[in-house]
Amino acid sequence: MADQIFPEPTAGVFIFNTAGELLLLKSHKFPGKYIVPGGHIELGERIEEAAIREAKEETGLDVYDLKFINFQEFVYDPSFWQKRHFIFFDYACKTDSLSVTLNDEAEEHIWVTLEAALQLPLDSYTRTSLEKIIEGNLS
């Protein structure tokens, strides 16, 4: 990937099923850690539109009822497989399906309760947003 000129805004999606379980993924981009689906916001696209699109592209799931969690700065963190500067905009949302179809970015997926998620090796940014969800700090 070419050198960055500006930080890259991304949308992260904390997807909950009808049982209240959270979808977590493993990806080679964050080795050994669980993360949530997400990706770049495209030119001309609103952040919530990007979150909905990324959820569909990465999991095959249709999501709804988006609620903003927080934003986080990610500046050359070595936890990522490449040296990048991101700005994460995270959203919690719902899906009515359990049928996940992963794209080539994810290696595996699990549905877990919030309490079980906290016991897993999470990326630190995923953990921070998850703690905000548990605290009830959603917009």
Is 66 inside any structural domain?
Answer: yes
What is the rounded CA–CA span in Å between residue 82 and residue 63?
29
Residue 109 included in any domain: yes
Residue 3 within a domain: no
The answer to whether the beta carbons of residues 80 and 74 sit under 8 Å apart is: yes
CA–CA distance, 31 with 25 (Å, rounded to integer)? 11
- Residue 130 in any domain: the answer is yes
CATH number at residue 124: 3.90.79.10
For residue 34, list its beta bridge partners. 26, 122
Q: What total number of domains does the chain contain?
A: 1
> Which residue segment(s) compose the domain that 126 sits in?
8-135
Q: Is 1 a member of any domain?
A: no
Instruction: Give the end-to-end CA distance of the chain in Å, rounded to a whole number.
Output: 34
Say which DSSP state 51 is in: H
Query: pTM, whole model, 2 decimals?
Result: 0.92
Q: What token pair was written down for 107?
A: 């290696």
Give the tens place of pLDDT for each residue, 53-106: 999 999 999 999 999 999 999 888 667 777 888 899 999 999 999 889 988 888
Q: Is residue 44 part of a domain?
A: yes
Q: How far apart are CA 36 and CA 89, in angstroms?
A: 12
Please check whether residue 2 lies inside any domain of the structure: no
